[in-house]
């Protein structure tokens, strides 16, 4: 979460307080490394609390191609359920009284949908309000929940840890002036929640139902390239969905650019709000104890660089560690083990990232 410019960072990797804060019978082989027709492939195959089944549906169609096609078929069906054709998908949807979104309908027509993905979507539509409505309204949330049912738990963990640490740091730092400066704390907290969601969401595995861009222009080529990358450096491979070493390296730098952009924009917003409040207060009442108003652009640039380099590296590692734990036999038998690990590793990241940000801020002269 972005802090104002005072304090310490929390688990979002940003400072708090000092923060601003089936061709059914035989569909074509699919690969995540190239553009595809409407397809349904998922992100990471890990995830807590799924009864030992992988959290990504592997909806890339049967026949991974090459000599291992038969083995791939058997693995996908055992792990992700049978590949359901269009008529079967419609029958099941009608029986559950659920209307499928357009991109899922297209995927069902084109190559079919893995049973586990369809059943997860039905379960999400039966969830209490407002989750069911949000799933229908926001495909980005839906696709991440289909790939990893523990996605919201991870987001919530990040937000709660970050907000609690931020509050503790702000109370300690501001002391008796906390309530007098509550608007600064509120601005910090609000921007921090946005950053927390971005930090978790940008690396989360997700199901891809959309058709690859057919544009031959620069934007279209970039879109296809970005779509072929794994969601994180350590995303699990699945039959029909392979990633090269170059793609994984490319993902690190691509996500770094996205993280840096989020950090800079949120830095401008959060630090700008803080600076305006500080300036307005000093125009009414000045004090010899007033500290200089932090430089806006330099502070925002610090947030951008910090998220692109430090947060990106730490969160990539966290995703890899969570994947290992979630795929372990122990976590598959006892799902709370993976949940407890998520809480612990993100709390440790919170503490370390906070101390690191303070050092960066002081070294850069922002604080």
pLDDT digits (tens, 9 = 90+) for 148-205: 999 999 999 999 999 998 888 878 877 777 787 777 788 778 888 989 999 999 999 9
Is the domain of 162 the same as that of 233? yes
Closest Cα partner for 44 from 194, 141, 132, 151?
151
Q: Is 344 inside a domain boundary?
A: yes
In a domain, 21, yes or no: no
The last residue of one of the domains, among 115, 137, 159, is 137
Task: Say what percent of the chain tops pLDDT 70.
Answer: 74
Tokens of 90: 């419609």
pTM exceeding 0.85: no
156/113 same-domain check: no
Task: Using the CB atoms, write b or e for 112-127: b if 16+ within 10 Å.
Answer: bbbbbbbebbbebbee
Same domain for 100 and 191, yes or no, is no
Is residue 326 in a domain? yes
Q: Are residues 223 and 325 in the same domain?
A: yes
Asked if residue 342 and residue 240 are part of one domain, the reply reads: yes
Residue where the block lists tokens 């000599």 = 67
Whole-number average pLDDT of the chain: 78
- 320: tokens are 């890899």
- Calculate the dihedral angle through the C-alpha atoms of 120, 125, 130, 136, rounding to the nearest 10 degrees: 90
Residue 305 lies in a domain: yes
Average pLDDT over residues 216-227: 81
Task: Give which of 68, 76, 209, 87 is closest to 142, Cα–Cα.
Answer: 209
Range of the domain at 303: 150-364
- 251 against 73, higher pLDDT: 251
Q: What does DSSP assign to residue 177?
A: G
| Structural domain count, the chain | 2
Assess if residue 308 is contained within a domain.
yes
Classify 31 in phi/psi space as left (phi over 0), alpha (psi -120 to 50) or beta: beta
| Alpha helices (runs of H) in the chain, residue ranges in sequence order | 69-80, 86-96, 102-110, 115-125, 131-137, 139-147, 151-174, 182-201, 218-228, 245-284, 296-306, 312-326, 329-333, 336-364
Q: What is the largest CA-CA distance in the chain?
A: 79
Mean pLDDT of 338-349: 96
Average pLDDT score over residue span 283-311: 85
Q: Are residues 112 and 164 in the same domain?
A: no
| Six-digit token string for 227 | 């779509």
Q: Are 88 and 209 members of one domain?
A: no
Dist CA 65 CA 68 (whole Å): 7
Task: Please report whether residue 32 resides in a domain.
Answer: no
Residue 296 lies in a domain: yes
Is 213 inside a domain boundary? Answer: yes
């Amino acid at each position: 979460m972005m802090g104002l410019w005072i304090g310490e960072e929390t688990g979002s990797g940003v400072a708090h307080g000092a923060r601003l804060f089936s061709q059914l019978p035989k569909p074509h082989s699919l690969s995540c490394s190239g553009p595809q027709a409407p397809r349904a492939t998922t992100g990471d195959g890990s995830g807590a609390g799924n009864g030992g089944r992988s959290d990504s549906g592997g909806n890339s169609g049967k026949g991974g191609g090459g000599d291992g096609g038969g083995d791939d078929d058997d693995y996908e069906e055992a792990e992700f359920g049978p590949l359901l054709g269009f008529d079967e998908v419609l029958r099941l949807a009608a029986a559950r009284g659920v209307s499928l979104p357009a991109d899922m309908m297209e995927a069902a027509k084109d190559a079919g949908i893995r049973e586990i993905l369809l059943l997860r979507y039905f379960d999400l539509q039966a969830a209490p309000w407002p989750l069911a409505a949000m799933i229908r309204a926001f495909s980005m949330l839906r696709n991440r929940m289909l790939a990893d049912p523990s996605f919201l738990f991870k987001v919530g963990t990040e937000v709660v840890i970050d907000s609690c640490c931020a509050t503790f740091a702000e109370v300690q730092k501001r002391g008796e002036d906390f309530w007098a400066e509550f608007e600064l704390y509120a601005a910090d907290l609000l921007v921090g929640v946005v950053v927390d969601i971005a930090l978790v969401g940008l690396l989360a595995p997700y199901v891809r139902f959309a058709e690859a861009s057919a544009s031959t222009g620069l934007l279209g080529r970039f879109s296809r390239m970005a779509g072929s990358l794994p969601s994180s450096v350590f995303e699990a491979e699945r039959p029909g969905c392979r990633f090269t070493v170059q793609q994984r390296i490319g993902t690190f730098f691509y996500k770094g650019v996205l993280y840096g952009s989020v950090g800079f924009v949120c830095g401008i917003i959060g630090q700008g709000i803080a600076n305006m409040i500080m300036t307005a207060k000093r125009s009414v009442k000045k004090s010899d104890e007033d500290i200089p108003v932090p430089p806006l652009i330099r502070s925002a640039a610090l947030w951008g660089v910090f998220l692109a380099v430090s947060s990106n590296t730490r969160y990539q590692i966290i995703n890899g560690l969570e994947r290992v734990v979630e795929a372990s036999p122990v976590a598959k038998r006892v799902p709370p083990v993976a949940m407890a690990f998520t809480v612990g590793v993100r709390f440790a990241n919170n503490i370390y990232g906070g101390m690191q940000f303070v050092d960066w801020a002081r070294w850069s002269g922002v604080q």
